[in-house]
Structure 1
Amino acid sequence: MLTIKNYYLAQSGDGKQFINFELVGNIEVFQSNSGKFYVDIKKCKMPTRLDEATAKLMIGKQISGTIVKKECAAYEYAIPATGEVVTLTHRYEYEP
């Protein structure tokens, strides 16, 4: 199960506004290269055709499905905590 954590206004290539949901999965425990454990969650954004008032009502609701890692064309990403720019070749997507 996934939870709708939040929603964001976004703009398509042709300038139309739409709503993206931020979906989050369950807590996962990972072990780093140094051997220490840490907790993380997978998250992704999913476009909707809902209006903003309806999107607000959906926050906290659960939907079936999972978040999977998918390969994609390389792109640059700035890590929010450090500002470091890294090149990624994957993204996370919703899968029913």
Structure 2
Amino acid sequence: MQKNIIKAGNTERYFTAGAMITYEKEREQYEGMLLIQQKGKERSRYETSDIRIFSKNKEVVYRQLKQIAALYPPKQDVRIIDTEELKDE
């Protein structure tokens, strides 16, 4: 479960607001997405950017999400939502 958490850090101008991983059956690959927001613009829906990562290996996506999130640490711990695991529950 530890790999599903992005730890909070010192936010400067931008911070990670959300993270998720999904599996695309048509392309047979995983897609990871980070939502990045500008500090002070939390209420504006137009101030959110997304970063997408594609790979055939799920562990690579997890690792890259965490590496990018280290550049934009969240204000509080963020759980990486894995839609593949949600389907199994």
More helix by share: 2
TM-score normalized with structure 1 length = 0.37
Between Structure 1 and Structure 2, the one with more strand by share is 1
Query: Taking structure 2 as the reference length, what is the TM-score of the superposition?
Result: 0.39
Structure possessing the higher radius of gyration over alpha carbons: 1
Larger RCO, structures 1/2 (Cα 8 Å, 6+ apart): 2
